[in-house]
A and B are shown apart, each in its own frame.
Chain A
Amino acid sequence: MASTEEQIRTEVFRSKLPALPKERVFNLTDHTFTTTAWSIATWLFVMGAWQGFAAPLHLAIIATLFGCTVPLLFQSLLGRFFARWGVDVAFGARATYGPLGTKIVVLLFGVLPAWCWISIPAVMFGRAVNKITIGMGSTGLITNEFMWSFLCMALGLYITYKGPDWMKWSFRFATPIMLILIVAITVRMLSEWGLSNILAIRPEGLNPDPYVSFIIAVEMALGLGVSWLFQFGCYGRICKSESAAYYGTFIGWGILWAILSIPAMFVALVAGAEDIVEGVSIIGGTWVMVYLFLLVIANPSSLATNGYLISLTLRNFFPKLPWWLVVCSSFIVLLLVGFPVAYDSFASFIVLLAAATMSFAGVWVTDLLLRGSNVSLKDLYDESSKGGYWYWGGINWFAIISAAIGTAIAFIIWNPVTQDIHLMGVFRVVGASIPAGVSAAMAYLIFSRLILIPRKIGYPEIPWKK
């Protein structure tokens, strides 16, 4: 039987208990390894490929570096916030959205997209093994795409079940190996195709106008950059310092994502293929096996990290559910493996996400800055109407309205689904998601300054500031 201390420690990683400093497990290196392991998976290569379809190499790299990294300058403040308080997003977000508002917003824009995301490595792993085994002349069960997707997911979710201690040690080995393999594949591609040749390739583009296609590439990268919005809590809360929480995400989800997606741009430009395995197969059979080995490590790793986010969030919203059940809930995405919507409609999925999530990011970061990242922890855990973050009916309507204003502005500028551009002049200069985020932030700033702060709605007394 586990001791009480062990049980408490287990609960810290699987429930709403705030993590105390002595219980934190991630320093900057461990956090960066974890976020990098999260990044390195098929989604990274899919993203890189789409950037390669949209723009020539030089411009695709600029778009990806900017879009993936710069939003994190602001968003990573959330990581710092969660490290300071040791709480998960299910509670930390209440200061901004209210208890009921948090449930709605996080489930809709956090958990649901996360399920779509994790379908991508599962789908792609199954497809990669399927292609490779058929290419090797195999037939029967061993070529079954669905089976490999399931196995990939099962392995990833097993690590999720074991929790952050397992992840920390797994990624101390797995992440450096994956980095070495990607560098090796990149060097091999460059020696085969030549950098000057790749730089000279002009892709067909996602729009007849190459400049507009480039701006769409920036939009996709921004969509990726803000897609982390509801994911800072699960690992930020177990970081040993605020810097570890901030830079772990800035480096792993931002800079490294952008850099590591470059080989997929090569493949898209040279082979015109979305799937990096098609490019790898051109440079030789041995390299296909190297790539497959990379996927064997990378995709379950990403499933594990993302699975933990989903599991912890669900457990905090529905605390009666056993841990194994919330972990296994992610098997629901096997439906998406059967109908791979997120994977096959990646460009639409990512820019649609950008339009909505950027607005919520603008609101949340503004709120954090207004509070100086300080909250009353007891009020975060108080779901009654007397709680300091109750707002109106448990929802901070001004946060929702501000985010809606931002999203509406993105849709006024362009339609992310059909990619019809309504205000071409604006789109060519600033895109759509940046105006969305800025206008949502400005709207929330005005509401807060005029109404929330003067009336102390959502601004309870901070105990240690007395």
Chain B
Amino acid sequence: MDSSNEGRLDRDAFQAELERRLDMYYDIRPGQEDGEIPPMKLKHFLPAIIISIVLTVYLIAAMIGFGAFYPG
């Protein structure tokens, strides 16, 4: 191993590690072997969807009733 270059792996070791990881990911869904990366389901998007809808309605209201929002 080459420790002189900022702790980098040497080229062959790096390539071997890359191949190992690509093989690991090849036949399985990501993360299964080392512990799953918890996936997002539809319900997890709900807060972002609700916030975005509220902000969009807020913007449209400001565009339609611009005069009422404008001071003076």
Contacts and interface: CB of A to CB of B under 8 A. Distances in A.
Contact of B34 (A20, A70, A202): A20
Contacts of A378: 22, 25-26
Contacts of B52: 69-70, 73
A210 interface: yes
Interface stretch (A55-63, A124-132, A297-305): A55-63
Interface in A242-257: 242-243, 246-247, 250, 255
Contacts of A418: none
Q: Tell me the interface secondary structure of chain A in the complex.
A: helix
Contacts of B5: 322
B13 A4 contact: yes
A100 B8 CA distance: 26
Contacts of B40: 80, 241-243, 246
A66 B28 CA distance: 39
A378 B34 CA distance: 19
B12 interface: no
B37 A21 contact: yes
A69 B51 contact: yes
A140 interface: no
B7 to A, nearest CB: 5
A323 B6 CA distance: 8
Contacts of B34: 20-22
B13 A18 contact: no
B21 A11 contact: no
A381 B37 CA distance: 21
Interface in A15-48: 15-18, 20-22, 24
Interface in A92-123: none
A102 to B, nearest CB: 18
A192 B53 CA distance: 35
B48 A250 contact: yes
A311 to B, nearest CB: 12
B65 to A, nearest CB: 11
Contact of A8 (B9, B36, B56): B9
Nearest to A80: B40
A20 B35 CA distance: 9
A210 B36 contact: no
Contacts of A210: 66, 70
B56 A17 contact: no
Contacts, number: 144
B59 A63 contact: yes
Interface string B43-72: 011011101100110110011001001111
Interface string A216-252: 0010000000000000000000001111001100100
Contacts of B3: 1-2, 7
A8 B63 CA distance: 54
Given A65-B58, A218-B59, A21 B8 contact: no
Given A69-B51, A201-B71, A20 B21 contact: yes
Interface in B1-36: 1, 3, 5-9, 13-14, 17-18, 21-22, 24-31, 34-36
Contacts of A20: 21, 24, 31, 34
Contacts of B38: 240-243
Given A1-B3, A211-B66, A11 B48 contact: no
A16 B26 contact: no
Contacts of A83: 37
B23 to A, nearest CB: 8
Contacts of B36: 21
A406 B31 CA distance: 36
A5 B63 CA distance: 57
A463 B38 CA distance: 20
A200 B58 contact: no
A282 interface: no
Contacts of A63: 59
Q: Which 8 A-B pairs have the closest CB atoms?
A: A241-B38, A242-B40, A1-B3, A73-B52, A66-B59, A21-B31, A377-B25, A21-B34
Given A250-B48, A377-B30, 7 more contacts: A7-B9, A8-B17, A14-B6, A58-B69, A65-B55, A73-B48, A86-B30
11 contacts: A1-B1, A18-B22, A63-B59, A70-B56, A210-B66, A243-B44, A247-B48, A250-B48, A378-B25, A463-B26, A464-B27
